[in-house]
Structure 1
């Protein structure tokens, strides 16, 4: 699979107006990480601002429990039967202290049959949960490789966006990431919690380890709570920190209307009251954004980085480099 044909649409052409990173990219992101164009369950008061839209990517080897963790996170359910995941997309909306947040969850395949799509998920992801099985050393080693690949992909994209053809020193990005050691209920373990924790201790502050079990529902909430902590997101986004709201298929507004606030300063609220005011709902009829939209998101994020260096990222050369990072090697 090659993304060349998919990316030609946004490459700058001869005699064509070059988009501005500070204006056009903001327009792009509204149709990207915001509510899907095909969704019918949005209304004006539940459209999140751009700054509150995030994408969480679930990664890991096959059969380690990625989809089971997502099912626990979204609905507290666990399915005994195993069905290989090609790619699943979910969206959850929150109302937290009067603000709307959107979390898109991309549950990827453990077999990664399309390397280009996998590379694109690295580029468009904001938060990552890398799952491995505590009874399989191979999956732990794969989790470490995935972390390194994510960081390298982010570095290369940033370098291509910033340099404008010049060689610059690569800086290590801080990417919020949780290494989730699933199946901790297994008796025979080939990876110890101490070993996984030691690895995370050698990384930056954006990396943390949580030992969990989707089957026994052990510390599943902690996986996502810690992820939101290292990402500096509201703690109320964790499963047990907000009220779950059920949404009917086709409902115009998935979140209930916000009540009037009687507090001028939100930080004067007690923790108990703050959590009681937070609610979240899984949108029932959301569609996975297209590849074109993902490329727009990728461009927006790299534009925001390149804008600090006088917009050199608008050059056709730098975008061809980013495109090559997504192509199959």
Structure 2
């Protein structure tokens, strides 16, 4: 029980006591009784006002504490009434165009550094201690050159043992980031298998006899462990050269190679280079909302003051779309190229 809850219990009890006391004296002071106790009656009413004021103050304080705890360190505290009530889907809100929305699906073996690479993209720091991925969906919103962009990041690590779910995730992706560890040869073998799976799934979805180039980037992570390298660079170049997939050696720990890799992902997805973590200013979600609204008002001829430089915000309420939503997305994609057909994800 926290401090605020400890205060609530006695205040509630005192409030009930004053209520009963007021009722008692009101009954004694009725016209039929002939008794008058104005001092006691006024005292009880004054006490009730004090207790109600205290109770309201503690509830307000509790609300402010909850807001400050949910806010990241260093950010200015804001009223709970101003916080977003739901995730910002720019496409649904009409703030962006379909061509500016992309989903990046991240695949690879466990312990290769996928989570830390995503954290770097989101503008966060490297975490040394390994923890299995639990939060598998992120959304980063950009405002670049007067246009809004939405990039969804789906880490499909938790679907490693569920082929049907992984296949559905692949079918919903626009761009793919396949990660392996330079100190783990088995992880590279799995990365090659995942590339083949991506190619086969997209060919089946689009009804292509000869699958084209896969919109994927392969990342050999943990380049900082050069002494422990277990994968031959010549072998990697030879195999991936046949696939025509760009390869980047990176280190999520010291950040080397990540900027070039993020730029390659942006190019594949038709996104501006400013989506790279070092190319924009990171702002709060509320500031981002005000920038978007200010730009809309500017289009209507209303003068506004806002951030002119590229900026981005991480949506704190973003949650992975449901299985049904993803399935509808896949079925919608297939009808653009062919007649409606049952989607086989098995």
Q: 1:277 to 1:199 in 2, by over 3 A?
A: farther
Contact 2:179 2:220 in 1 (8 A): yes
State the partner residue of 1:193. 233
1:175 matched to 2:214: yes
Contact preservation (8 Å) 2:283, 2:311: yes
Q: What's the CA shift string for 1:159-198, capped at 9, x where partnerless? A: 2xxxxxxxxx612133321100000111111113343233
Q: What residue number does 1:26 align with? A: none
Q: How does 1:94-133 map to 2 (within 5 A)?
A: 94-109=142-157, 112-133=160-181
Calculate the TM-score normalised by the size of structure 1: 0.69
For residue 228 of structure 2, give the secondary structure of its aligned residue in structure 1: coil
Number of equivalences: 252
User: Which protein is richer in helix relative to its size?
Assistant: 2
Q: 2:103 aligns with which of 42, 55, 64?
A: 55
Q: Which has the higher contact order (CA 8 A, sep 6+)?
A: 1
* 1:284 aligned partner: 316
Q: Give the match for residue 327 of structure 2.
A: 295
Give the Å deviation of 1:276: 6.7
Indicate the residue corresponding to 2:264 in structure 1: 226
* Alignment gaps of 5+ in structure 2: 1-84, 300-306
Deviations 1:192-247 (A, max 9, x none): 3343233333223xx21110011122122222111112333211111112222222
Candidates 224, 237, 242, aligned match of 1:202:
242
* Equivalent in the alignment of 2:21: none
2:130 to 82, 86, 104: 82
Instruction: Determine if contact 1:236/1:242 at 8 Å carries over to the other structure.
Output: yes
User: Which of 214, 219, 227 in structure 1 is aligned with 2:252?
Assistant: 214
Q: How does 1:199-278 map to 2 (within 5 A)?
A: 199-204=239-244, 207-247=245-285, 253=289, 255=291, 257-258=293-294, 277-278=309-310
Matches within 5 A, 1:26-41: 39-41=86-88
1:246 and 1:130 mapped to 2: Cα distance? 30
Is the contact between residue 41 and residue 252 of structure 1 (CA under 8 Å) also seen in structure 2? no
- Give the distance between the partners of 2:292 and 2:197, measured in 1 at CA: 40
Moved over 6 A (4+): 42-46
Normalising by the residue count of structure 2, what TM-score does the alignment of the two structures yield?
Answer: 0.66
Give the deviation of 1:114 after TM superposition: 1.7
User: CA distance change for structure 1 residues 40 and 118 in 2, over 3 Å: closer, same or farther?
Assistant: closer
Aligned to 1:151: 199
1:135/1:155 CA distance change after superposition, 3 Å:
same
- Going from structure 1 to structure 2, the CA distance change for 1:87 and 1:219 (only over 3 Å counts) comes to same
3-state SS, counterpart of residue 81 of structure 1: coil
> In 2, are the aligned partners of 1:93 and 1:100 still within 8 Å (CA)?
yes
Q: CA deviation at 1:284?
A: 1.0
Structure 1 residues 232 and 252, CA gap change in structure 2 (3 angstroms):
closer
Contact 1:255–1:280 (Cα < 8 Å) also in 2:
no
1:15-37 Cα shifts (integer Å, max 9, x gaps): xxxxxxxxxxxxxxxxxxxxxxx
Larger Rg: 2
**Any gaps of 5 or more consecutive residues in structure 1?**
1-37, 160-168, 263-274, 307-311
Tell me how large the CA RMSD over aligned residues is.
Answer: 2.7
